[in-house]
Structure 1
C-alpha cells in the first residue's frame, strides 16, 4: 500500500503515519515497510527452525544427578521440608505445570501441599506459618513470582528454588537452590527447555522427605 492508501484505511493523516515510522527508527514509510518485511521473514525462520532431541540434555543431567553436590542439596531441602507444616509450590507457565505436579506428588506421599497459580493470591497467615515454598523457574527471573518470594522472605519463611540458573535472583533469595543445568532451548520467545530433570528432582525430593518422616515416626 502507498502511504495515502494506509492513511485512508486507518483514518489518520499521512503525517501521523510518518511520525509513527520515525518513532520506530525509520526515515519514512518506505524504510518502515522494508524493515517490517524483514522482521516477518525472521519470525518465519524462527518458526521453521529444527528442534534438537532432548536425549543429550537429559543424559548430561542424569550424570550430574549423581554428584555429591546435588545429593547434598536434596538432603538439605528435605530436612527443611520435614520441619514445615505444609508445602507451597509456585511457578508460571510450564514451571507452573511442574508446580501443580509437585503439589499432587507430595500430597500423595502424605505431605500437605498446595500449588499457587496466581502469585497475588492471598494466603491466610495460619497456612503460611511454618510453611516451605518451592519455587520453580527455568531462568529464575520470573517477574511475577519474584515479588511473591521477596514478600515471604521478609516474613522469614523458607524458600527452596528449583531452577536451571544457580546465579539467578530466585536462586540467590532461596535458602536452598537445586540447579539442574540443562541446555535451554527456545522457539522464538517460547521456552521449550526439557522439564524431565524437574520431574526427577521433585520425585527424588518427595521420596526423601517421606523417608525422613518415616524415620521420625
Structure 2
C-alpha cells in the first residue's frame, strides 16, 4: 500500500475535498488560495478568516492526513522551500485571455504529472512489473470516464504480447472475470476508488484470488483497500473548478499506464518483436 508521505499538502487537500463537510471546505479553500500565508498564521486566525471554529480547522487537518494544524504548517513550509513552484502556480481561467488560461492549465498539468510520477515507489513498481510479466492475462477494469484509459491500456499491452482484455460494459467484465485463470491480473482504474460497479468487479477478482493493481486518486478508498498494489494518480482539476464535485482528469492516470507500458517494453525481451509484428499487421491500413 502506498503511503501519503511523499504527497504534497495541497494535493492531499484536493484529493480529500469531495469528502469534506461544508465548513471544512471553507478551510480547504482558504488553504488552497493562501498556502504561503497559512504558514505564519495561528489556528485561531485561520478559523476567524474562514468563519468556522478552531475545532473545524483541526478536523480538516486530520481528514487531509496531517496530525494537526502545526504539522500542516510545517509541511507547507517545507514544500514551499523545496518546490517553490507550488506557491506560484496560477489557477485562473479567463475566457477573454486564452493565452494566459492555457499557460495556467499547462502549469497545473505539469505539477499534476510531477506529483504523480514522484509518488510512485520504485520497489513497489518493480513488484507490479514482475506480476504483469508473469501474468497469463491482464484485465483492465473501469467504468465511466476512465473507460478510455482501460481501452488504451489493453491495446498497448496487447502490442507487447501481453494478452489483455477490457470492455465498456461492466456486466461483460464481470462475466469475463468469473472465467479467468488464477494467474490473471486485474488493473482497476478509478479516480474516486468508490465506483459501485467497479467494486463489484474487484470483489469478484478478490473472490477468485486474482491480484489487483489499482490506479486511483484516493489511496484510502474502498478500491485501494481491496487491492494488492496501489499506484496513485494526482488530479488538480479542482484548482480550477472548486465548486464542482467531478474529477474528470485522465492525464495523470494515463501517465501511470504509460509508465507501466514503457517499463514493460524495456524489460520484456520480445517486446520490440511483438510491436513490429503488430505494426506489420496493420501496415496496409495506413496511407
Query: What's the TM-score, normalizing by structure 1?
Result: 0.67
Structure 1 residue 65, shift from structure 2 partner? 4.4
Distance in 1 (CA, whole Å) between partners of 2:243 and 2:119 is 36
Does the 8 A contact of 2:178 with 2:204 survive in 1? Answer: no
Q: Secondary structure at the residue paired with 1:144?
A: helix
Equivalent residue in structure 1 for 2:150, among 89, 93, 99: 99
Q: What residue ranges of structure 1 are gaps of 5+ in the alignment?
A: 1-48
Distance in 1 (CA, whole Å) between partners of 2:267 and 2:107 is 33
Distance in 1 (CA, whole Å) between partners of 2:120 and 2:182 is 30
Distance in 2 (CA, whole Å) between partners of 1:182 and 1:80 is 27
Distance in 2 (CA, whole Å) between partners of 1:209 and 1:113 is 14
Q: CA RMSD in A?
A: 2.9
2:121 corresponds to: 70
Equivalent residue in structure 2 for 1:110, among 161, 180, 183: 161
Does the 8 A contact of 2:217 with 2:233 survive in 1? Answer: yes
Distance in 2 (CA, whole Å) between partners of 1:105 and 1:138 is 21
Does the 8 A contact of 1:98 with 1:199 survive in 2? Answer: yes
1:198 matched to 2:253? The reply is yes
Question: Counterparts of 1:1-217 in structure 2 under 5 Å?
Answer: 54-67=105-118, 69-121=120-172, 122-123=175-176, 127-185=180-238, 191=246, 193-214=248-269
Name the count of aligned residue pairs: 168
Going from structure 1 to structure 2, the CA distance change for 1:172 and 1:56 (only over 3 Å counts) comes to: farther
Could you say which structure has the higher helix fraction? 2
**How big is each residue's C-alpha offset from its partner over 1:147-178, in whole Å with a ceiling of 9 and x where there is no partner?**
11012101110000001111111011111100
Going from structure 1 to structure 2, the CA distance change for 1:167 and 1:124 (only over 3 Å counts) comes to: closer
Please list every run of at least 4 consecutive aligned residues from structure 1 whose deviation after the TM superposition is greater than 4 angstroms.
Answer: 49-53, 186-190
Larger radius of gyration: 1
Going from structure 1 to structure 2, the CA distance change for 1:190 and 1:99 (only over 3 Å counts) comes to: farther
Q: Secondary structure at the residue paired with 1:134?
A: strand
Q: Secondary structure at the residue paired with 2:129?
A: helix
Structure 1 residue 184, shift from structure 2 partner? 4.3
Going from structure 1 to structure 2, the CA distance change for 1:64 and 1:104 (only over 3 Å counts) comes to: same
Q: What residue ranges of structure 2 are gaps of 5+ in the alignment?
A: 1-92, 96-100, 271-287
Distance in 1 (CA, whole Å) between partners of 2:233 and 2:266 is 23
Does the 8 A contact of 1:57 with 1:182 survive in 2? Answer: no
